[in-house]
C-alpha cells in the first residue's frame, strides 16, 4: 500500500507506473486491488476496472472491455477531438464507437494498445487515472499483448496500471517475469501469512485482542490453512460453526477436538454446505462452478431456461449461503466469493454427475444459436471436454477458432485450434490442421505453420484436396514473402506449382504469379523482373474477367512498382486503375494503398502534396494508426524538402515515439531519416549525425534508405558546409551502395545532384549529362532542378549564354517548390557563370545569399558574399544572432538557436514554456538542452542555470 500511495502521488507529476500482484488463489490479490481502487476513488481519479474469466476466455480483450465499460456505462466515452483518429481501433473494446462497417484490413493489437494509451492519457490528463485488471491468468493472448504494450509505455503517461494474476504457466505469467527482469514494472509476489499474522487475522475475525486467541487454534489454522488468508478465514468459520470454538463470557475457548471437527480439506466443508441447499439452488451452484469463478446471468439463463424472478431468487439463496456475490464490476455477472469455492465444489461432486451437468449445459448453449457469439462456443467446447466428449469438443473449438481468425484475433484462434487439434481423432484432424496453419500464419508464427503443414497427409480420406493444399501453399508463400524469407517463399511457390501442374484454375495461377512477382523485388531475384511483369499483367486480366477485385488491386500495385523503372506516367496509370477497382468494389484499404502511392509519385514529380493529404484522410477513415503514421512520414519529408521545417518537426515529434512503441519500425526508421534530412538541409551536422545514429541503431543501416541517407542527407549537409569534396565522396558512396542494392528511392543524387557536381568539376560533359537526363527519375522535381543547373553550366561553357540563362531561370522558378535545393543549385551555377562569363551571377548570388542567411546557414551565405566581392559588387554587412553569443560559448560550438534556449534558462522556464516562447517543439528544446550540457560540460540543468546566471551577470 505504501508503494501504491507513492505511485498515486506521482500521477500528479505525469509519471505512470505498472504494478503486478501475483499469488495463489486466496492470498489477497483482489483485496489489495480493492484498496487501491478505493484510494483512487477517494482522490477523485478516474478508475477503470475489469477482470479475466475462464468462462469468457473466448471473448477477446474481456478484461479491457469490462474496464472501459465500468467507466463509460453511465457517462459515456469522452468526446475529445484528439481521440477521433483512434476511435476505430478502440471500437473493438468501446461499443459506442462501433460502426456498421469495420475496416477491411486485419486490425492490429498494437494499434489498439496505442489507441488505449491515448484514451488513458485523455482520461488522466487532469490528475491521472487508475486501470485495474484482475485475474489475468485467464486473459486471452491478445489481451496479454495489449498489457505488455501498456507496461512498456505507461511510464510517460499519468496512468497507474495494477494487474493481478496467479503464478501459473501461461502468457500473462511469462510477461510478469519478463517485466521483472527488465525492471519495467513493480512485481509483488504475495506470500503466506506467518504465525503472528495468522493470530492477528483470527483476532480480527473473532473481535478480540490477539493475545486472547487460543494458541491451539492458531497452530491448527497455521497447519491446515498454510498461511492463506482465505483458507484461514474459512477454517476459523468452520470451527465456530461446528462448536469446536465457542465464546464464553466474551472469551473464546476450545470446546472440542479441533483435529476431529475441522474438515481435512475445504472441499468437504463446501460439499456439506452445498448439500444443504434446495435442489434448484444446488443445481445452479454446480453449473456456476462448471462455468468458472465468475459467471454471466445471461449465460446461466440460456442454459437453465429459468425466468428472471426464479433465477434471481435462487441467486439470492446462494448469496445468503455466502457462496457467491454480485461481481461489482459487471452488472450481469456474479462471482464465487472466492475462486477456491468453485474448485472445491467441483472436487466434491462425483465425476458422472459433473459430466452430465456439463453435457446438458453445452447442449443448451449450442441450441441457443447457430453461430458462435461472445465466446459461447468456446465455453460449450470446454464443457464438452469436461463431459469427456472430446470429439464434439474438438469440433466446437475448431468453429470458435475459425471465428476468432475471422475476427482478426489470430493469437486466440491459434490457442483454440490447438486445443481442438489435440482433442480430435487422427482421422478428423485434417480440417483442424488446415485452419491452424492459416491461424499461425496470420499470427506471424511462420515456423509453426510450416512445420504443421508438413504433417498434413497428402492422400487418402484424411488428406486435403489439391485445391485446398494449393491455397495453403499460396498463403504461406505470401506470409514468407512479407517476412522477406525468400528461400522459404520459393519453396512454397514450387510446392503450389507442382500441385497445380498444367491444370490450375486461372485465379490460382494469377495469385501465385503475383507472389512470384513480389519475390522478384527482393535482392538476389532481380533477374526475374521481366517474367514477373508479364505474369502480373496476366493476373490483372484474370482478375478482371473473374471479378476478383482484391487480386486485381494486388496485380496493379505490383505492375506500378515494376513500371517505375521505365517512367512515372506508366506507374501512375497502373495506380489509377488500382484506385478505380478499389473504389468500384468498396475496398477502402486498397483505395488507401493506391492513394499513398499516387501521392508519393505526385510529391516526387511536382512537389504537390494534395494526393498525400487525400491518402491521410483515407487512413483516418480506416481508423488505422499505422497507415496514418506511414502517410505522415511522407508528409514530413515533403515538408523538409519544400522548406517547411516547423511542420516537419511537428510531425516527427508527434509520431516518432508512437512508431517506436507500436514497433512500426519501417515508419520509425523513415521518420528518423527525415529528422536527419531536416538537420542536414539546415547545415546542422551534429544534429544530423545524432539522428543518423538513432536511424542506424533502429536497423536503418541495413535498409534501402541508406542511399537517401548518404545523398539526400550527408551530401547536402556537406554542400551547406561548403565542403564539396566531402559531398562528392558521400554521393559516390551512395552510388556504390545502389549498385549492389537495387532500390526504388530516386533522390540519392544519382539523377540530379551528382551529375551537377561532376559537370562543375569537369568530370562529365554533354554525353554523361544526356544519360542522366534520359532516366525516368530525371523528371522528378528535386532531381530536375539540379539537372537544369548542370545543363546551364554546359550551355554556358559551349557559348550559348541565352539558353544557359533561360535554364537558370527555370531553376529559380523551382524555388517555390524546393527552396533549399533550388537556392543551392543557384549558388553553384552562379560560381560557374562567374568563371565562364555568362548570365547574371550577381543577381543569383544575392538571391542565394539572402536565402541562406535567413536559413542560418552561414557557410553558404559567406561563400556567396565572397563571390560577390570577387565581382566588385557591394555586399551588405550581416549581423546574425551568432554575434551575440559570448566568445566562450562560441568557442565550444554553441549555435544561435542553442544560445536562444540557453538565454531563457536563466528565467527557470520549463521545456514547454521555452518551446512556446521560441515557437519550436518541446522535443527540439530537449535536444538543444542535451547539446548544451554536452558542449558546456555541465552535469545537469541546474549547472546550466548557474552558468546562464553567470553569463547574464557578465
Range picked from 283-297, 406-420, 579-593 for highest mean pLDDT:
579-593
CA-CA-CA-CA dihedral for 73, 76, 80, 86, to nearest 10: 60
Q: Residue 681: its pLDDT value, please?
A: 94
Q: Residue 369: its pLDDT value, please?
A: 65
8 A C-beta contact, residue 281 and residue 331: no
- Which residues in 409-566 belong to E strands, given as ranges? none
Alpha-carbon span 805 to 229, nearest angstrom: 91
**Confidence band for 678, pLDDT divided at 50, 70 and 90:** very high
When comparing pLDDT for 349 and 617, which is higher? 617
- pLDDT of 827 higher than 90: yes
In three-state secondary structure terms, 655 is helix
Cell 439470492, residue? 316
CA-CA-CA-CA dihedral for 754, 756, 757, 762, to nearest 10: 120
Range in 275-289, 336-350, 580-594 with the lowest mean pLDDT: 336-350
When comparing pLDDT for 18 and 101, which is higher? 18
Average pLDDT over every residue of 160-186: 88
- pLDDT of 931 higher than 80: yes
8 A C-beta contact, residue 658 and residue 629: yes
Nearest to 146 by CA among 108, 113, 121, 185: 113
**Confidence band for 722, pLDDT divided at 50, 70 and 90:** very high
8 A C-beta contact, residue 735 and residue 750: yes
Cβ partners under 8 Å of residue 656, min gap 6: 668, 671, 672, 675, 923
- pLDDT of 492 higher than 70: yes
Using alpha carbons, list the distances in angstroms from residue 318 to 183, 231, 314, 328: 43, 20, 7, 16
In three-state secondary structure terms, 268 is helix
- pLDDT of 542 higher than 70: yes
Range in 13-27, 317-331, 643-657 with the lowest mean pLDDT: 317-331
- pLDDT of 951 higher than 70: yes
* Cell numbers at 842, concatenated: 550577381
DSSP-derived secondary structure letter, 54: G
Q: Residue 365: its pLDDT value, please?
A: 85
In degrees, rounded to 5, the angle at the alpha carbon of residue 385 between the alpha carbons of residues 454 and 175 is 65
Q: Residue 589: its pLDDT value, please?
A: 86
When comparing pLDDT for 399 and 107, which is higher? 399
In three-state secondary structure terms, 21 is strand
- pLDDT of 29 higher than 50: yes
Tens of pLDDT, residues 873-892: 877 666 556 667 787 787 67
* Cell numbers at 339, concatenated: 475462486
8 A C-beta contact, residue 59 and residue 65: yes
**Confidence band for 193, pLDDT divided at 50, 70 and 90:** very high
* pTM to 2 decimal places: 0.70
The percentage of the chain sitting over the pLDDT mark of 70, rounded to a whole number, equals: 92
Element (H, E) at 125: none
- pLDDT of 674 higher than 90: yes
8 A C-beta contact, residue 161 and residue 670: no
- pLDDT of 830 higher than 70: yes
Average pLDDT over every residue of 497-521: 82
DSSP-derived secondary structure letter, 157: T
How high does pLDDT run on average in the chain? 85
Phi, psi dihedral angles at 60 (to 5 degrees): -60, 140
Alpha-carbon span 575 to 597, nearest angstrom: 7
H helices of 292-338, in order, are 297-304, 308-320
Taking phi over 0 as left and psi of -120 to 50 as alpha, with beta for the rest, 316 belongs to alpha
Average pLDDT over every residue of 618-635: 88
Taking phi over 0 as left and psi of -120 to 50 as alpha, with beta for the rest, 856 belongs to left
How much of the chain is in helix, strand and coil states, percent to nearest 5?
70, 5, 25
Range in 57-61, 147-151, 276-280, 849-853 with the lowest mean pLDDT: 57-61
Q: Residue 260: its pLDDT value, please?
A: 41
DSSP-derived secondary structure letter, 193: -
Taking phi over 0 as left and psi of -120 to 50 as alpha, with beta for the rest, 764 belongs to beta
Q: Residue 250: its pLDDT value, please?
A: 79
8 A C-beta contact, residue 722 and residue 860: yes
8 A C-beta contact, residue 108 and residue 626: yes
Tens of pLDDT, residues 428-472: 778 888 888 888 887 778 888 888 888 887 655 456 788 888 889
Element (H, E) at 247: strand 245-248
8 A C-beta contact, residue 272 and residue 258: no
Q: Residue 840: its pLDDT value, please?
A: 93
Nearest to 829 by CA among 850, 856, 859, 809: 809
- pLDDT of 330 higher than 80: no
Instruction: State the DSSP string of 65-78.
Output: HHHHHHHHHHH-S-
* Orientation of helix 685-697 relative to helix 922-936, angle to 10°: 110
Q: Residue 353: its pLDDT value, please?
A: 86
Alpha-carbon span 558 to 562, nearest angstrom: 6
Amino acid at each position: 500500500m505504501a508503494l501504491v500511495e507513492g505511485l498515486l502521488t506521482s500521477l500528479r507529476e505525469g509519471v505512470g507506473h505498472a504494478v503486478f500482484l501475483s499469488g495463489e488463489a486466496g492470498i489477497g490479490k483482489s483485496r489489495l486491488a480493492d484498496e487501491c481502487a478505493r484510494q483512487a476513488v477517494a482522490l477523485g481519479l478516474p478508475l477503470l476496472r475489469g477482470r479475466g474469466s475462464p468462462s469468457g476466455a473466448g471473448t477477446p480483450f474481456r478484461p479491457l472491455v469490462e474496464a472501459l465499460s465500468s467507466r463509460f456505462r453511465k457517462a459515456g466515452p469522452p468526446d475529445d477531438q484528439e481521440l477521433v483518429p483512434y476511435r476505430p481501433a478502440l471500437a473493438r473494446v468501446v461499443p459506442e464507437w462501433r460502426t456498421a462497417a469495420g475496416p477491411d484490413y486485419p486490425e492490429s493489437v498494437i494499434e489498439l494498445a496505442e489507441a488505449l494509451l491515448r484514451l488513458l492519457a485523455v482520461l488522466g490528463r487532469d490528475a491521472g487515472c487508475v486501470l485495474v485488471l484482475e485475474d489475468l491468468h485467464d486473459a486471452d493472448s491478445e489481451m496479454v499483448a495489449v498489457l505488455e504494450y501498456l507496461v512498456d509505455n505507461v511510464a510517460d503517461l499519468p496512468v497507474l496500471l495494477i494487474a493481478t494474476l496467479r503464478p501459473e504457466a501461461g502468457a500473462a505469467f511469462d510477461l510478469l517475469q519478463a517485466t521483472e527482469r527488465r525492471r519495467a514494472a513493480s512485481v509483488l509476489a504475495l506470500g503466506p501469512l506467518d504465525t503472528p499474522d495468522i493470530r492477528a487475522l483470527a483476532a480480527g475475525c473473532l473481535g478480540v485482542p490477539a493475545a486472547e486467541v487460543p494458541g491451539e487454534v492458531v497452530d491448527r489454522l497455521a497447519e491446515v490453512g498454510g498461511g492463506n488468508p482465505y483458507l484461514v478465514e474459512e477454517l476459523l468459520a468452520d470451527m465456530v460453526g461446528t462448536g469446536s470454538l465457542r465464546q464464553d463470557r466474551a472469551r473464546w475457548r476450545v470446546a472440542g477436538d479441533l483435529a476431529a471437527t475441522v474438515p481435512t480439506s475445504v472441499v468437504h466443508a463446501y460439499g456439506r454446505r452445498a448439500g444443504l441447499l434446495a435442489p434448484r439452488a444446488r443445481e445452479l451452484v454446480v453449473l456456476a462452478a462448471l462455468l468458472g469463478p465468475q459467471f454471466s446471468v445471461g449465460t446461466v439463463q440460456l442454459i437453465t431456461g429459468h425466468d428472471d424472478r426464479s433465477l434471481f431468487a435462487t441467486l439470492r439463496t446462494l448469496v445468503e449461503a455466502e457462496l457467491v456475490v454480485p461481481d461489482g464490476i459487471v452488472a450481469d455477472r456474479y462471482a464465487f466469493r472466492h475462486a477456491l469455492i468453485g474448485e472445491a465444489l467441483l472436487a466434491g461432486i462425483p465425476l458422472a454427475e459433473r459430466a452430465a451437468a456439463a453435457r446438458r449445459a453445452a447442449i443448451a448453449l449450442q441450441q441457443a444459436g447457430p453461430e458462435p457469439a461472445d465466446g459461447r462456443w468456446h465455453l460449450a467446447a470446454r464443457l464438452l471436454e469436461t463431459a469427456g466428449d472430446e470429439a464434439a469438443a474438438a469440433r466446437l473449438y475448431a468453429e470458435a477458432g475459425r471465428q476468432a481468425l475471422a475476427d482478426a484475433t489470430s493469437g486466440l484462434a491459434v490457442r483454440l485450434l490447438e486445443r481442438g487439434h489435440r482433442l480430435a481423432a487422427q482421422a478428423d484432424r485434417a480440417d483442424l490442421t488446415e485452419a491452424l496453419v492459416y491461424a499461425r500464419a496470420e499470427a506471424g508464427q511462420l515456423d509453426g505453420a510450416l512445420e504443421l503443414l508438413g504433417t498434413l497427409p497428402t492422400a487418402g480420406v484424411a488428406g486435403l484436396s489439391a485445391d485446398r493444399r494449393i491455397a495453403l501453399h499460396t498463403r504461406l508463400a505470401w506470409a514468407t514473402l512479407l517476412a522477406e524469407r525468400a528461400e522459404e517463399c520459393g519453396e512454397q511457390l514450387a510446392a503450389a506449382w507442382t500441385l497445380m501442374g498444367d491444370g490450375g484454375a486461372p485465379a490460382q495461377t494469377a495469385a501465385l504469379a503475383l507472389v512470384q512477382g513480389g519475390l522478384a523485388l527482393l535482392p538476389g531475384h532481380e533477374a526475374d523482373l521481366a517474367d514477373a511483369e508479364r505474369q502480373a499483367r496476366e493476373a490483372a486480366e484474370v482478375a478482371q474477367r473473374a471479378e476478383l477485385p482484391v487480386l486485381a488491386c494486388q496485380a496493379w500495385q505490383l505492375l506500378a512498382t515494376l513500371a517505375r523503372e521505365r517512367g512515372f506516367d506508366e506507374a501512375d496509370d497502373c495506380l489509377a486503375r488500382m484506385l478505380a477497382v478499389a473504389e468500384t468494389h468498396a475496398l477502402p484499404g486498397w483505395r488507401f494503398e493506391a492513394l499513398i502511392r499516387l501521392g508519393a509519385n505526385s510529391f516526387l514529380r511536382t512537389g504537390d502534396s494534395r494526393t498525400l493529404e487525400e491518402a491521410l484522410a483515407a487512413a483516418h477513415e480506416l481508423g488505422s494508426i499505422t497507415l496514418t503514421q506511414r502517410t505522415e512520414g511522407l508528409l514530413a519529408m515533403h515538408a523538409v524538402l519544400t522548406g517547411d521545417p516547423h511542420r516537419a518537426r511537428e510531425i516527427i515529434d508527434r509520431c516518432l515515439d508512437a512508431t517506436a512503441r507500436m514497433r512500426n519500425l519501417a515508419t520509425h526508421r523513415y521518420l528518423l531519416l527525415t529528422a536527419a534530412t531536416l538537420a542536414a538541409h539546415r547545415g546542422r551536422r551534429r544534429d544530423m549525425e545524432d539522428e543518423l545514429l538513432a536511424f542506424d541503431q533502429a536497423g536503418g543501416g541495413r535498409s534501402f534508405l541508406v542511399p537517401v541517407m548518404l545523398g539526400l542527407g550527408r551530401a547536402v549537409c556537406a554542400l551547406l558546409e561548403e565542403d564539396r569534396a566531402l559531398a562528392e565522396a558521400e554521393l559516390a558512396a551512395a552510388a556504390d551502395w545502389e549498385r549492389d542494392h537495387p532500390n526504388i528511392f530516386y533522390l540519392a543524387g544519382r539523377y540530379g545532384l551528382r551529375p551537377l557536381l561532376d559537370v562543375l568539376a569537369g568530370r562529365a560533359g554533354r554525353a554523361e549529362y544526356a544519360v542522366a537526363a534520359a532516366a525516368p527519375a530525371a523528371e522528378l522535381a528535386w532531381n530536375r532542378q539540379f539537372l537544369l543547373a548542370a545543363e546551364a553550366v554546359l550551355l554556358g561553357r559551349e557559348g550559348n549564354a541565352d539558353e544557359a540563362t533561360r535554364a537558370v531561370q527555370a531553376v529559380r522558378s523551382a524555388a517555390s517548390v524546393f527552396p533549399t535545393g533550388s537556392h543551392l543549385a543557384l549558388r553553384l551555377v552562379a560560381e560557374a557563370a562567374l568563371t565562364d562569363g555568362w548570365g547574371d551571377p550577381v543577381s543569383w548570388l544575392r538571391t542565394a545569399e539572402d536565402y541562406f542567411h535567413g536559413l542560418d546557414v552561414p557557410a553558404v551565405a559567406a561563400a556567396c558574399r565572397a563571390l560577390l566581392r570577387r565581382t566588385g559588387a557591394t555586399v551588405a554587412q550581416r549581423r546574425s544572432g551568432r554575434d551575440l553569443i559570448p566568445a566562450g560559448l562560441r568557442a565550444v560550438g554553441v549555435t544561435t538557436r542553442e544560445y536562444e534556449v540557453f538565454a531563457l534558462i536563466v528565467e527557470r522556464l520549463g521545456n514547454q514554456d521555452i518551446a512556446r516562447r521560441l515557437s519550436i517543439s518541446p522535443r527540439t528544446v530537449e535536444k538543444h538542452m542535451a547539446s548544451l550540457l554536452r558542449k558546456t560540460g555541465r552535469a545537469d540543468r541546474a549547472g546550466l542555470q548557474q552558468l546562464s546566471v553567470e553569463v547574464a551577470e557578465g
